[in-house]
Each structure stands twice: as C-alpha cells, then as structure tokens.
Chains A and B, each alone.
Chain A
Amino acid sequence: MPTIVDIAVNTEGFSTLVAAVQAAGLVEALQSPGPFTVFAPNDAAFAKLPPGTVQTLVQNPPQLGRILKFHVVAGKYTKDELIKLGTVDSLEGAPIPIHTLSDDGAFEVKNTTVLAADIEADNGIIHVLDTVMLMG
C-alpha cells in the first residue's frame, strides 16, 4: 500500500501541500511507519489564504513545519473514531476539536469541512480538508 506522502504526490489537487511538506523537511517523517492521521488541506484550501501567507511560511521551514504538524496526529483514526473522541492532540501540541455530525450531516474538523474521509495509507490515514487549519 502507498504511504501518506505517495498518495499526496500522486493525487491531483495536493501540489501545494506536497511542496510545503518538502520545504518543511517533513517528507522523511511522513514516510516513516507512523502510523499518522493526516488532515490534508487541498490546493483550493491553500489558495484561500491571503497573498503572501504561503510565501512567508515557505521561507521559514520551522514555522511552516509547526503549521503542518498541526495537521498531523499520532495514531490512525478513522472518521468514526475521531467523532467518538471529540478532540485529538496534534503533533504541534495544540488540540484539534472534531465536531460531531449535526443535522446537516457534515464531518467537520475544527473550522474545516472534510471533503473526503478515511483514505487508507500504509502508514496511516488521510482526511481531506477544504481549509488550512490554524492553531487557537
């Protein structure tokens, strides 16, 4: 089975995320056995950030790495498990609240909507987000 990085590299719509992971020097870590749960913002999510935001982060790998680590959780958690947990701690250290299914049936991670859940990888699982998450 492909790793989390392999899936991101070979799937259309994740080129910004892949470039960011490379710039932050996190490729090797995300290729390791893990397992990890990765909340992966797509290209449209990064495009929603105001101009300059990504440029500044890419210029500063430790700071970029911190934001990216906020999108990664140690352990493999499916959508159902996440909903049951209610909140999970990111590798950055800050918690990520998970919103339970409400009347409209949305699966939300913090202030983002999950566009595709439970994409299985060799070293974890991916949930695709429509927005880049920020701590706080």
Chain B
Amino acid sequence: MPTLTQPTTLIPPSAHPHADIIHRLEAGGSMLPDTPENLMQIIGIYKAYAVPMDFYWRDLLYIAERVFLNPVPAFKYFLPQEYLDLPNHYAGDTADLRIWRGEATAHPELLDFMAQGETKRKLPKLLLHLWHDRINMEFAEACMRAMLWHQDMGGRFNDYLYTEEYKGACDRAIRAYFKGNPAMLGLHKLFPEMFYEKCRELSYYSNLGLFWEVMAPVFFEMSDIYDEGGFAGVPDAMNFIVNGIFAVAGRPIYHHVYVGDECFELIPKSCGFTWLYEAALPYVEAVFYRTAPFRGTKSYNAQAGQVPQDQNDFHYGILYADVFPVGSAGIPPTLLMQDMLHFLPPYLLEYYQQYCRGEDDMLTQLGITFQRSMYNVTSAVIQALRAALLYPLDDQNPRHLMANRQFFEAQMDRFVRPEARLKDVQRQDYR
C-alpha cells in the first residue's frame, strides 16, 4: 500500500507477542489491517456513530449548562431548539477551524429521526421518548460516568474539581440556581459536599460534550472523503484522525452554567485545560480501555478476584468487549449499537445482510465493526502520542527508533491479556 513506509532495518525485530502489529505501527500503519473491507466497515460505522454523537454532545452540554441541578430532570433528553441550532465549532461557515464541510447545526438525519423515530410516524415527542424510540442518551451518560469514576487518568481536570476555587464557583452557581428555594439551600448548608459532587459530575458532562463536539465533524468529514474516493487505505483514515487530534489539541475544556441570563464559570477557559490532555486522553483510557464490569449478561465475582483490585487494570472497554453477551437490552454498549443501526450507510446495511444471520444479528455485526473502528481510533491516539512525545517514524537515529519501539511495545502490553480483541480484528471473518 502506498500509505505505508518500508519497515526499518536500523533496529532488530521486536520479540513481543504482538510483534507483527508493532512492526505495522512502526511502518505507519494501524492496529487494524489495511484491507478495503476494513476501510469500508470503519468509515461506514464512523458515519453511523457521528449522527447520534451530534445529539450526545449537544445534550451533554445542555444538561451541564442548563439542566444543572434540577432535582427531577425528567426532560433532560428533550433538547431545546437552541441546542439543536448550537453551531458546532468545527463545522459550517462559523467554525473556529472547519473540519467538516457540512453545516454547523444538528445533522439533517438526526432531526429526521427525532421527528419520526423508527416507526416513521410523527408521534408526540413524549410518546417517542416513553416508547424508547429515540437517541439513547443513557449511553453518553455511561461514558461520562466512566470518566467520573476512573477520575485520575492524566491531565489536571480532576484535581481542579477538588480545589477551593472550584468549590467557590460551584457555591455561587448553586445559590443562584436554588434562589428562593429554602429546602434545597438548607440541604446545601447541611451537606455541602453533596451538590459539589453533583457539580463534578456535571463538569464531566461538559468535558465529554466538548470532546464529542470535535469528534462528530471529524467522522462526518471522513465519511464524505470516503464517499469521494479520498482514502487509499486504513492508514489514511488513521492519519486523518491523528491530524485532527493535533489540530484541536489546544481547544479549551471548560464548564459554564447558565442560571437565567447569568453565566457562572465553574471551570473557566482561563484554567488552560485542553481538549487533548483533559478530555481526549482521559476519555480513551476510561471508555476504550477501562469502563466497568457488569455491563452485560456476563457477571463477575469480585470476591473471587474476577475483578481487578487496581482500577488501572480494568479492561471492560470496547477494545476487550465480547460483543455478543453485551448485546442485550438496556445495556449501554447495546444502546449505542441501537443508535448506530438507525444511521448505517446503505453499503454497510447491504454488507451485513450478506453475513451471519443478516438482519437478525445486525447489532452484533455492527458492534464488531465498531470494535474494529475503535482499534483504528486507538491506533490514531497511539500514533499521535508517539508523534507528540517521541520521534518520527522515519527517524534515522537507532536510539530514537528504539524509544519508539519501547513505547509501541508498552502500548501492546495492554492487549496481551486474553480478553483483548486485537488478534480477532486481524481476521476478516471475525463478525
């Protein structure tokens, strides 16, 4: 493939169990093999992911900024027009940096689905909601909760949530929000940590919303480029994400709350928090790698040592998921699969019809495609980190190449455990 460089002969081959994949990464490739079938699958699923993601980021910001401490947030998934029109900072004519050539407001396919649902009938919003014929925001909240729960995954975001500065800002917002509500203000006085903790969770809503606001246009643009015949292979798709990571690395991560017309900056932009360090890297760690057990039909016995003592060793993310058992109702990854099912491009629908049980197990098939696509995103993160912290792949200094090698090997160590799906995604018949 023209997108890969020749493997280096300046250092000896790796002896790692995933040596073949390490050599591919060193040649500028992805953990996912470079085949037209893989490229078609991952781009198709990126597009199907981007549409619900366009809802997720808007609603995450809506909840963080407006719903805030509403004690009965029954309508938090009912996105007001203002947030559907909220211009994405990376799409449209008003973009800070235009990544997607499309429009900045909510995606037309999303609006269409929100109006008619699966049934394609214009029913009242509340009915669609109760019938669960809607975008499954519970998935987005599960991702947010994984970030909140794992907490200390690099960056300075989490530490800031325990500073006096943050608590002071929360305090002002809480008092303004519950103004004229002596019951809630009394509760705040009695148990001050309670609402601070809720604010911390809401700050993670904002964090994840600002993270996905970038990823949705990245995936939309990738889909458009593919439709135009613009990607020669999987490494091209990976490199597009690598460039995207760098391009928006410096985007501020913040949390603003609006009470009426007044804005309270719980985390001001002046904190200097960035998209790469405070959102993207913690997200990948918490959601792709770790998350939490008890997400599927398979249960774990913590007392029998089936759940690691150390949170660092958690391995329940999409990179390790056995897609079939998690494919049950009401479980976060399945909710995402259900969301993506509504927006599959025709070529992917046709593809799934040809394999396994066709329409009957399409959720599992697309879940495995999603797993492939996330191995490619993780490859992009690994390559971006290598580029940012280490050396170019074509560096001629053997010492530098060895440092890159050690970095790649350390990354691949995480996929040595038997649950990792890295070996599986090497095979095209893993569906």
Chain A residues packing against B (C-beta within 8 Å): 49-53, 55-57, 59-60, 62-67, 93, 102, 104, 106, 110-111, 134-136
Whether a CB of chain A sits under 8 angstroms from the CB of B96 is yes
**22 A-B interface contacts by CB (under 8 A):** A49-B246, A52-B246, A52-B248, A53-B249, A53-B250, A56-B96, A56-B250, A59-B97, A60-B250, A62-B270, A62-B272, A63-B250, A63-B269, A63-B272, A63-B273, A102-B399, A111-B391, A111-B403, A134-B388, A134-B389, A136-B154, A136-B389
B247-288 to A contact mask, C-beta < 8 Å, 1/0? 111111000000000000000011111100100000000000
Query: Which residue of chain B has its CB nearest to the CB of A110?
Result: B389
How far is the CB of A126 from the nearest CB of chain B, in Å?
A: 23
Q: A49-B246, A50-B247 are in contact. List 12 more A-B contacts (CB 8 A).
A: A52-B97, A52-B247, A53-B249, A56-B96, A57-B249, A57-B250, A60-B250, A60-B269, A62-B270, A63-B250, A102-B399, A134-B249
Contacts of B251 in A (CB 8 A): 56, 60, 63
Whether a CB of chain A sits under 8 angstroms from the CB of B363 is no
How far is the CB of A5 from the nearest CB of chain B, in Å?
A: 21
Asked if B385 and A62 make an inter-chain contact with CB atoms under 8 angstroms apart, the answer reads no
Asked if B271 and A62 make an inter-chain contact with CB atoms under 8 angstroms apart, the answer reads yes
Query: Which residue of chain A has its CB nearest to the CB of B154?
Result: A136
Query: Which residue of chain B has its CB nearest to the CB of A111?
Result: B390
Contacts of A63 in B (CB 8 A): 250-252, 269, 272-274
How far is the CB of B403 from the nearest CB of chain A, in Å?
A: 8
Contacts of A60 in B (CB 8 A): 250-252, 269
How far is the CB of B248 from the nearest CB of chain A, in Å?
A: 6
Query: Which residue of chain A has its CB nearest to the CB of B385?
Result: A136
Whether a CB of chain A sits under 8 angstroms from the CB of B374 is no
Query: Which residue of chain A has its CB nearest to the CB of B384?
Result: A50
How far is the CB of B383 from the nearest CB of chain A, in Å?
A: 11
Whether a CB of chain A sits under 8 angstroms from the CB of B5 is no
How far is the CB of A48 from the nearest CB of chain B, in Å?
A: 9
How far is the CB of B373 from the nearest CB of chain A, in Å?
A: 21
Asked if A55 and B274 make an inter-chain contact with CB atoms under 8 angstroms apart, the answer reads no
Contacts of A55 in B (CB 8 A): 97, 247
Bound complex: CA of A134 vs CA of B384, how far in Å?
11
Contacts of A62 in B (CB 8 A): 252, 269-272
Query: Which residue of chain B has its CB nearest to the CB of A67?
Result: B250
Which residues of B127-173 are within 8 A (CB) of A? 154, 156
Which residues of B371-419 are within 8 A (CB) of A? 385, 388-391, 397, 399, 403
Contacts of A102 in B (CB 8 A): 399
Selected from B247, B272, B399, the residue in CB contact (under 8 A) with A53 is B247
Contacts of A53 in B (CB 8 A): 246-247, 249-250
Asked if A51 and B399 make an inter-chain contact with CB atoms under 8 angstroms apart, the answer reads no
A-B interface, 4 closest residue pairs, ranked by CB to CB distance from nearest = A52-B247, A57-B250, A50-B246, A66-B272
Query: Which residue of chain A has its CB nearest to the CB of B395?
Result: A111
Query: Which residue of chain A has its CB nearest to the CB of B245?
Result: A50
How far is the CB of B128 from the nearest CB of chain A, in Å?
A: 38
Contacts of A59 in B (CB 8 A): 96-97, 250
How far is the CB of B210 from the nearest CB of chain A, in Å?
A: 12
Asked if B272 and A111 make an inter-chain contact with CB atoms under 8 angstroms apart, the answer reads no
Query: Which residue of chain A has its CB nearest to the CB of B269?
Result: A62
Asked if A136 and B269 make an inter-chain contact with CB atoms under 8 angstroms apart, the answer reads no
Bound complex: CA of A65 vs CA of B274, how far in Å?
11
Known interface pairs A56-B97, A62-B270, A134-B388; A51-B243 also in contact (CB < 8 Å): yes
Whether a CB of chain A sits under 8 angstroms from the CB of B242 is yes
Bound complex: CA of A53 vs CA of B154, how far in Å?
21
Asked if A66 and B249 make an inter-chain contact with CB atoms under 8 angstroms apart, the answer reads no
Asked if A64 and B250 make an inter-chain contact with CB atoms under 8 angstroms apart, the answer reads yes
